[in-house]
Amino acid sequence: MSRIYSVITGTGSYIPAKRQKNSDFLSNEFYDSTGEKIPTPNEEIVQKFLEITTIAERRYAEPDENTSDMAKVAAERAIETAGIDKEELDYIIFAHNFGETKVDNNRIDIVPTLSARAKQKLGIANPYTVAYDLLFGCPGWIQALIQADYYIRSGDAQKILVIGADILSRISDPHDRDSMIYADGAGAAIIEARESDEPIGIIGHNSRSDALEYANMLHMGYSYNPELAEKKELYLKMNGRRLYQYALENVPKTIKDGLDKLKLHISDVKKVLIHQANGKMDDAIIKRLFKLYDLNEVPEDVMPMTISWLGNSSVATVPTLLDMVMKGKMHPHNLEKGDTMVLASVGAGMNINSVVYRFP
């Protein structure tokens, strides 16, 4: 019996041109959370950071680029790849965390919404292209994908644009070592309804929110530099050690639960595209996932990674990674008809989600 499925027909991404290498942080003054200057030489701090995260460089937006500007480019590329008329879009769902982050002001600007700004910049006149924003931490783009699937399966929509974009470089504390993790970028996808006798496209998903114990592991706080803290500007703060443990304990289970719902085994999955948060953490997560199936060996090509050179761009990491794989930019990684992949993310809230996707 045929039914309607949600299929990704086009992807696009925008990777800023500006490269920020680890060596660019050697002149920073780093403080700890108590406001004390860290006595360790910056060379050692940067080297240890590389060992822990695998990040060697990241991309930053140029001064004249704002969040919606990057989103526009990624969206245009997704629309072009899908070969659709932008006026036919039923929804634009824009996942982000910090609004229109500007170079001269890091305060959150979400009026009008980023989805409305993106719609305007794309030149979409159709009043029935409903545009709204979604806040769900780093897993926001995947959660937007899940919402798009519900719209399509309900019959409410035929074509949906899902965008994820953030500029983290402007809300990170330059005196906090964690600032070296963050990056900027945008990714997008077109989701369309397609009738099929066999399961295709988004065939399942799973989400969870663990706010009771873990809501504040990522939060906004003052600079660790006491002088800068007096200005009362807010910056992104993270309890990295607890977050690492939380992710390791819960992300593999969340992915497995999603596969279990579909009676699928990890051996049925060709690729796992996971949020690029920390290279060592993602390696530990994939190993833990396979161990849940009593497998000690992880295929070398199952998990493509970009974090070593793109850093952590929050909601943009997964759609950017997906776009690069689908367009043959992540050799030797590829996806073909009938292949099953998992998209997964973890982030502020704390929230985790996963999508199981079968290529039509």
Q: Strand pairing of 351-358 and 201-209? A: antiparallel
Superfamily of domain 3-196: Thiolase/Chalcone synthase (3.40.47.10)
Say what the pLDDT of residue 317 is.
Answer: 98
> CA angle 284-15-105, nearest 5°?
100
Cis peptide before 112 (omega within 30 of 0): yes
Q: Give residue 101's pLDDT band: very low, low, confident or very high (50, 70, 90).
A: confident
pLDDT 10s digits, 236-273: 999 988 999 999 999 999 999 999 999 999 999 999 99
**Domain definitions of the chain by residue range:** 3-196, 201-358
How far, in Å, CA of 322 to CA of 313, rounded? 14
How far, in Å, CA of 3 to CA of 64, rounded? 46
How far, in Å, CA of 63 to CA of 101, rounded? 11
Say what the pLDDT of residue 83 is.
Answer: 98
Mean pLDDT of 55-64: 96
Q: Pick from 315, 317, 321: which is nearest to 351 by CA?
A: 315
Q: What is the mean pLDDT of the chain?
A: 96
Q: Do domains 3-196 and 201-358 have the same CATH topology?
A: yes
Q: Pick from 307, 343, 341: which is nearest to 55 by CA?
A: 307
Distance set, CA 286 to CA 143, 342, 351 (Å): 21, 12, 18
How far, in Å, CA of 188 to CA of 164, rounded? 6
CATH code given to domain 201-358: 3.40.47.10
